[in-house]
Structure formats: C-alpha cells, structure tokens
Chains A and B, each alone.
Chain A
Amino acid sequence: MAISGPKLLNQLKLLIVIGIMILIAQRIGYGIGILQAIPGMILVIVISLFALVIRALLPKVQMPAFAWASLTALILSMPFMPTAEVFLRFTDEVNFLGTTAPILAFAGISVGDKIQKLKSLSWKVVIVAIAVFCGTFFGSAIIAHIILTLQGII
C-alpha cells in the first residue's frame, strides 16, 4: 500500500476533529484550559499522522498505527532524549482519560449494527470473557509466584 495523499489528508482532517473533541471533553472533565492544551494536541496529532504514514510505508511490518504512535512517543519521552523535557511538558496538557471518552463513544456506536448478533452470543460471550479475565490474572500470578520463589524474594 503506497501513501495516498487524499486519504492522508482526510485522516488529518478527522484527527483534527477528534483533537477538538478531546480538548472540549478534558476541559469539562479535568479542567484543562483549551488554549493551554493546543500545542500539546498539535504534537499528539502530528505523531498520530506520522504513525499513519509509517504504517502505510511499512505494510509488511505487522504493527498497527496505534503501536507506531506509542513507540514514537515512547522514544521521544525517554529520559536521556533531548526531546523528553519539552515533549512531555506539552503532551502533559493532553489528559490520558480525556482521550478515552470519544474513542468509546465511537466504539459504542460502531457496534450498533451488531447488537442482534451480540444478543445471540451474549451469555457465551460473558462466559468466555470471564475465562479471559481469569486466564490473564492467574496465568500471570502463577508465573510470578514461581519466579519470585526461584529468586528467593518470597
């Protein structure tokens, strides 16, 4: 997949719309002034767009744009990076929880055409989900218990 200019432009426009939503949501939820958060939001949008470009340029690498966005921000914010101080000062104005409400509102609406399907699986999904939750919790706990015992920590 090569880079499509029109597609990227549309993605940028929508990222800006999403950015404005987050600015409004976090103003209400966490009292962060809209103007003071704009530079940080611009940085966040630039990195998001960068992630989309990398994803489009490297289709063979099985990493979603989301992971590229995280990895880019991680590298920029490592303590020994000269970018860290400035980067974190600006992006601190974008609230972690503030970014989540629009995602989940879109996600909620996007399952709208599957409500019937979900209803048909519902009790199975609930049972599978409980098994998933128990699986990750006890899977990690058992391994941690064994390694901590071997290390002599517990």
Chain B
Amino acid sequence: MSEERTMSEEQLIDPKGRIPVFLRLTLTVLGISMISEVIGIQRIPTGIATIVLLPMLYAVVIGILITPDVLGKPIKALRKLISDDEIKLAGPMVMLALLPLGVKYGTLVGPNIVRVVQAGPAFLLQELGNLGTIFLALPLALLLGLKREAVGATVSICREPTLGVIGERYGISSAEGTGILGTYLIGTVFGTVFFSILATTSVATGLHPLALAMASGMGSGSMMTAASGALAATVPEFGDQILAFAATSNMLTGVTGLYMVVLVGLPLVNFLYRILEPVLGRSGGTREVKDGN
C-alpha cells in the first residue's frame, strides 16, 4: 500500500507548470458540486423510515464514479479529465476544503457553549462510549486480516473531523487513510439508512430511550437526525425529549469528538493494535507503523 510518493504535499499544491491539472480538477469538482446541489436534498419515504439523501452523498459517489478505474475504464474521455495527476492533487485539496467546514463546526458550537458546559455528567461520560468502535471493531478487523488499515477504520465513527486528523497525521493516501475512507464512505453512503433502522430496533434491547437518544448524537447531523427521528417515532411518549437529548449529544460530540480522537482514540487504537495484531493478525497487508509528521 505504501507506494512511492514522488511529490510532497508542498510540491503537489504548487500550481507552477501544473495549471492544466489544477483547472481540470477544480472545474470537475465545481461541476460535481453544482450537479449535486441541483439534485438537492431528497427524502424517500419507506415503510420503516424516511431515507434522507444529501448533496454530499451524490458528490462523493460521482467523484468515485468518474475515476479511471471505474467509469474511466469504458469512457476514454473521462481519463483525459481525471487521471493520476488529478487524483494525487485531490488528496491535499480535501484537507484544505475541510477547513471551511471546520470553521462552520466552531460557529455551531460556540453560541451553545454555556448549554454544553451545563449539560451534565451523563452527556460527558457517554462520549467515552464512542470508543466502543475500537473495542468492538479493531479485534474483528484484525481477525479479518486488515493491518494498519484497521487503525483508521476503527479509531472512531470516521466522520469529517477524524478524516482531518488521520489525513494530517498519516496522509490520506496511507494505509490508515485507506482504512478511514472505507468506514467513512460506507458511513456516508449507508450511515443514515443503517442508523435509522438500528435506532428503531435498539429499543428492543431494554436500554432506556433517553440513553439511546444520547447515543444518536455521534457527530454527524444527518446520522443524528436519522437515528433520533426513527427513535422518536418508535417511542412517541418520549418523542420531544429524545430529539432534545440527541441534538445536545450531537453538539457535545462536535466539541469533544475531535479531541477524543486526537487525545484518547488514536493513542488507544495504536496501543491495542500493537498488543492485538501479533495475536489476531494474519499475514499480508501493511505492517509498518508510520509516525505522524
């Protein structure tokens, strides 16, 4: 997986002599964004839940589809638009494009900082539950034969903030980056559907609906909406409280989630990887541990 990186990030984002590459990539991404926004937010009602599709979902799907190994194979013209140079440039562009979203996250949390501080011990402690990803999924990933990909795939629920952390620490083209993109893409494509069904059925576990409501705030607005909406519909006597608890928890994960990943999740997953990989790991894959830069 650790293929040679001939150009550094600094060289990649230098447009000198590479203007056509920049133009092809940015205009393509602009086109994808415009098409995605024209399609707009779609709600598909099914028997169980309303499936909500957001423009970002179409954007990632179109982005993958137009690459050389997918539609670029049968459609030669696409390979003239998007080929290796554009794909390599797209990595550092993700990191830059994430920054405006980071600012927006801050502006969503700041005004609610007092409520966040007052939110109480249950809200704070259940944030530790997000580490359940590591305890449940890391051993499973190692048993399945994943190596360093497992670190990225299981460090958290792998939404945009974690994508930012892993991208900067290991590089989005690294084994860890591949792992997180896997969980991230599956989450982006199937997350809302999965969580709306999981939330509805989880009532049967006997866990209190308010506890399940807190669990619905995972740091993704769309997933939180899908999960808490389904939960509120399932347990209507707690309906309003469920939505309030989920939104508060989601806000908290917005604040703590990133620090949880940087300060607890990443050290923990690397620690457990070192212990568990020799026991559970199978041969093949990427074994070497790369230090962050």
Contacts and interface: CB of A to CB of B under 8 A. Distances in A.
Interface of A: 4, 6-7, 10-11, 13-15, 17-19, 21-22, 24-26, 28-30, 41, 44-45, 47-48, 51-52, 55, 62-79, 81, 84, 87-88, 91-92, 94, 96-118, 121, 124-145, 147-149, 151, 153-154
Interface residues of B, number: 135
Interface stretch (B43-51, B145-153, B273-281): B145-153
Interface in B156-174: 156-158, 160-161, 163-165, 167-169, 172-173
7 contacts: A21-B33, A29-B36, A66-B95, A101-B59, A128-B183, A136-B156, A138-B202
B78 to A, nearest CB: 11
Interface of B: 1, 10, 13-15, 25-26, 28-30, 32-34, 36-38, 40, 54-70, 72, 82, 84, 86-88, 90-91, 93-111, 113-114, 120-122, 125-137, 140-141, 144-146, 149-150, 153-154, 156-158, 160-161, 163-165, 167-169, 172-173, 178, 181-188, 190-191, 194-195, 198-199, 202, 205, 207-208, 210-212, 214-216, 218, 221, 227, 249, 255, 258-259, 262, 292
A29 B165 contact: no
A99 B114 contact: no
Given A75-B110, A84-B111, A141-B207, A99 B104 contact: yes
Given A7-B13, A101-B32, A73 B104 contact: yes
A127 B140 contact: yes
A79 B178 contact: no
Contacts of A142: 129, 207, 211
A73 B66 contact: no
Contact of B210 (A55, A76, A114, A148): A148
Contacts of A84: 110-111
Contacts of B122: 144, 147-148, 151, 153
Nearest to A83: B110
B208 to A, nearest CB: 5
A11 B96 contact: yes
A18 B292 CA distance: 26
Contact of A10 (B15, B130, B158, B182): B15
Given A101-B32, A114-B178, A6 B14 contact: yes
A147 to B, nearest CB: 4
A108 B13 contact: no
